[in-house]
A and B are shown apart, each in its own frame.
Chain A
Amino acid sequence: MYQTTYHRASSVDEAASLFGKSSEAKFLSGGQTLLPVMKQRLASPSDVIDLGKIKELIGVEAAGDTLTIKAATPHHDVATSEAAKKAIPALAYLASLIGDPAVRYRGTIGGSIANNDPAADYPAALLALGATVKTNKRSIAAEDFFKGLFTTALEDGEIITAVSFPVPAKAGYAKMRHPASRFALTAVFVAQTKSGEIRVAATGASQSGVMRVGAIEAALKANWSPSALDSVSIPASGLLADIHGAAEYRANLVKVMAQRAVASAS
């Protein structure tokens, strides 16, 4: 690791102010990607501003038809949150599958979506549930937030404060874990909103990052059941391929994981 200056911010305003004063600052929110990258000397921020101890950024709250997860809430807290398990059990289940226990105690939802790894779990939930990303400057619909591999709508220095999820009528998540990294080799989040809209998002599959899967949405709209997808074929073009999964395999997984997500949806 190169030398860096560590700051522990006590408020979002202080964090934003520290960012403005630094030459090449990075926000730290769990550090489950940033710190390994820094250790490998692939990133060299002049300053690291830790958001993880800011009280206003931690917590899970359900109010009416909305579940709000504050940005620096660790995955473990979401996985075990009674509010999350009651409002959107598929979301709590998703959090319980992220990485391994050490990652889940440190990694946060804000860190995860800001990084927007193409195989991360949370982006699928945000996109399928039609969540809204709250920042210290504005609100951004999930649709507009994810902009491709490791790219988001966040501006320089903008801080995610929370993600609010509309509580769906039904939702399910099914994940094929990458055998080495335990990211999603491919995972699919399916949701049926209270207004009857069907939204399906796949992560770990596309070369462009998290994606909606129109063919599956259409089939489920006609018939919300795993068997409705039997005749759906997902094209392999544009999908990721590596030693752990060819594009054709991932295309199959998009369908199979969607079927299992529907089967498990509640």
Chain B
Amino acid sequence: MGVEGIGARVVRKEDKRFITGKGRYVDDIKLVGMTHAHFIRSPHAHAKVKKIDSSAALKMPGVVAVLTGQQLVDDKVGNLICGWAITSKDGSPMKMGAWPAMAPETVRFVGQAVAVVIADSKNLARDAAEAVVVDYEELPAVADVHAAIKSGAPQLHPEAPGNQVYDWVIGDEGATDAAFAKAANVVKLDVTNNRLAPNAMEPRAAIADYDAAEEHFTLYTTSQNPHVARLVLSAFYNIAPEHKLRVIAPDVGGGFGSKIFIYPEEMVALWASKKVGRPVKWTGDRTEAFLTDAHGRDHVTHAEMAFDANNRITGLKVKTYANFGAYMSLFSSSVPTYLYATLLSGQYNIPAIHAEVIGVYTNTTPVDAYRGAGRPEASYLIERLMETAARQLKVDPAQLRRTNFITQFPHQTPVIMAYDTGDFNASLDAAMKAIDYAGFPARKAKAKADGKLRGIGVSCYIEACGIAPSKAVGSLGAGVGLWESAEVRVNPVGTIEILTGSHSHGQGHETTFCQLVADRLGIPISQVSIVHGDTDKVQFGMGTYGSRSAAVGLTAILKAMEKMESKAKKIAAHALEASEADIVIENGEFKVTGTDKAIALPMVALAAYTAHNLPDGMEPGLKESAFYDPTNFTFPAGTYICELEVDPGTGKTSFVNFVAADDFGRLINPMIVEGQVHGGLVQGIGQALLEHAVYDANGQPVTASFMDYAMPRADDVPSFNLSHTTTLCPGNPLGIKGCGEAGAIGASAAVINAITDAIGKNNLEMPATPDRVWRTIHAA
């Protein structure tokens, strides 16, 4: 592998600038003549906008403009879109309520913008915003899915009667009913998957700069996918054609999905920069992040699992209500459908599955993909069900899983996904060994003597990553393809630039992507740089989400490298007067195999660019690009086991041990992989114990600051015991499955299974706060 090649624990190149405060984020950028935007947001969950009086504000110092939703309408700026079309079981398309970037008539969640003040400074804009008088007529609001679908509930959109976005089904209902009719045992469970606020460390931000002479816009923005942002902004919002819009996503401080989407603020900034003739900057604060970053999860589910007399699963029925908030965000529709219900088979051989998902509008912040996106909801449901089943059937929970594991691959599930490979017994074995599963009863007994309730919880997750084969997602309603592109530029002096459509906002691409190049060419990673996040520099690409950057993005780089290497070998063979087939690449040199004849990479590069002595007919230069479209999803899987103690006096949970045995296929940089797993596990534990975005019955957010929304801190989580088992992904040449979301997908079920084991009661919702756990312990 070499010291910096694939599999090496290379220290992250990008950390020097991050740790020394030299990162360059959107808010660090200052343009000449720049103005500042402050949005005026609805304090009401549902209201008519009767009148906006900005006359006083316009007279205030430094105020450049006050722009309203009606002006957006007048300028024919398009509404926000949802890019994945879902069809209901009755054949009708999903019901889309219009989402203007600023509301001209009706606001439908607290925090929705109705107007924006543009001023010389952020403070002046904020001062003036307080002088804008918005006359609202309050309307009844609804925040809860069950309340929203009741007859007589407040209605959000005329397009969506009953507040229903869609009623979608997957699987074979008849076969599933038949399985239940013959079942020896049926296990039932109701679970809520709690709503989360993503809380990336860097709030969203945008700077829009309109060049009137060129009729050209530049947008600096906190995006995980700048090309997709440009495509959507151009194709749907009538702001600028693609060749007149450059989107730059510089250093971005975390995304977790929340920065995939196109939000109103960057659209308005672009439009406003042309209107006022000066650059416009908007940087959200934490309150705005809580109110407007797309939330995650928020499912209410009833599920039933049928077993035969041998404890083999014969069927699964699921009915889920998904709360979408007030509007359909960019990829929201796909999350509780194709990213959720297609994973309901888990790691298990389930012959028949039927799932129904009802999407519901409520007067809350829109919900979309958040780390894991649908897969955590599926994994949590299945793993809670398995634990519940083990208790009901009185079998060991690990053994019940083993009895039902899929062991033959490829495996076609009844819900679209075809698992390519895996070894679920291997990861379960590794995790059980790491936590000394056999020794748990003795440890539990000892804890009991100390007045503590000790529990152990297993979670065997599987996810679909490497998103995604374009043809497959297209057939399911996706509005885009999900390939990735890459370009390899070998400079005339032999250094290398990799241009990638992937975007790093914490993932460490500047290191891992270089490791592939180092591995193939035998050069140090210092000779390679990664260019990303700028639509003027990088050809069209799809960005980073769904654990796709290594499985898809890095494979695209590999494909471009292979093309480049092929040409370089021809040049080397020509220079060395050897056969191309005899050229091998080692330690930065092109060698004639079995001889001491060699030419160094810089000399090959120089030959390519001087073009003095190239093979006949060869074009000068050494630069290749590739577009790689995966043939299947990848299927990372693993087992997490959590051991913890509950204090019966307070209901407080304390971790004893947390082990993770993951199968991610090939690892490029195990250190970075471990960091990804750590972060994911903390988010999963955060969902299980702490985090909850709460609304009151009138749609007022209760948790719009860190005083109320509990983010996990370092002392809330244990040290993790990580290990890896490996089956290489057959779907891509590097054998990579992806590691970015696993922790967040698998952790929460392990935690709740352990708590419910500790307290001996099965009905416990997330977040399992000390209050909830204490009440559950003491409930009759």
Contacts and interface: CB of A to CB of B under 8 A. Distances in A.
Interface of A: 1-2, 40-41, 100, 176, 179-181, 185, 242-246, 248-249, 252-253, 256, 259-260
B769 interface: yes
A246 B707 contact: no
A253 B775 CA distance: 12
A205 to B, nearest CB: 13
Interface in B643-692: 649-652, 689-690, 692
A41 to B, nearest CB: 7
Interface string B625-651: 000000000000000000000000111
Interface band, chain B: 20 to 34
Given A41-B126, A244-B771, A252-B774, A176 B702 contact: no
A180 B708 contact: yes
Given A179-B710, A180-B708, A259-B649, 8 more contacts: A41-B126, A176-B652, A179-B716, A179-B769, A180-B707, A181-B707, A245-B770, A253-B650
Contacts of B769: 179, 243-245
B376 to A, nearest CB: 21
B708 A181 contact: yes
Nearest to B716: A179
B650 A256 contact: yes
A260 B487 CA distance: 64
Contacts of B703: 180, 243
B708 A243 contact: yes
Contacts of B437: none
A249 B775 contact: yes
Contacts of A244: 708, 710, 769, 771
A179 B713 CA distance: 9
B707 A256 contact: no
B692 A243 contact: yes
A179 B126 contact: no
Nearest to A253: B650
A55 to B, nearest CB: 33
A153 to B, nearest CB: 27
B408 to A, nearest CB: 45
B702 A243 contact: yes
B196 interface: no
A259 B771 CA distance: 18
15 contacts: A40-B287, A41-B126, A176-B650, A176-B652, A179-B689, A179-B690, A180-B709, A180-B711, A181-B706, A181-B708, A243-B692, A243-B708, A249-B770, A249-B774, A252-B774
B690 A246 contact: no
B426 to A, nearest CB: 36
Interface of B: 123, 126-127, 130, 287, 649-652, 689-690, 692, 694, 702-703, 706-711, 713, 716, 769-771, 774-775
Contacts of B710: 179-180, 244
Contacts of B690: 179-180
Contacts of A253: 650
Contacts of A40: 287
A1 B124 CA distance: 11
A252 B647 CA distance: 13
A250 B287 CA distance: 28
B195 to A, nearest CB: 12
A249 B771 contact: yes
Contacts of A256: 649-650
A256 B451 CA distance: 14
A244 B775 CA distance: 12
A41 B127 CA distance: 10
Contacts of A248: 775
A52 B774 CA distance: 41
A207 B126 CA distance: 34
Contact of A176 (B706, B713, B770): B770
Contacts of B651: 249
Q: 4 smallest A-B Cβ distances: which pairs?
A: A180-B710, A179-B710, A256-B649, A249-B771
A185 B651 CA distance: 13
A2 B129 CA distance: 13
A63 to B, nearest CB: 36
Contacts of B708: 180-181, 242-244
A256 B123 CA distance: 48
Nearest to A259: B649
A246 B771 contact: yes
A40 B130 CA distance: 13
Contacts of A176: 650, 652, 770
A221 to B, nearest CB: 23
A110 B771 CA distance: 32
A249 B779 CA distance: 12
Nearest to A1: B123
Contacts of B650: 176, 252-253, 256
A253 B647 CA distance: 12
Contacts of A242: 708
A260 B716 CA distance: 21
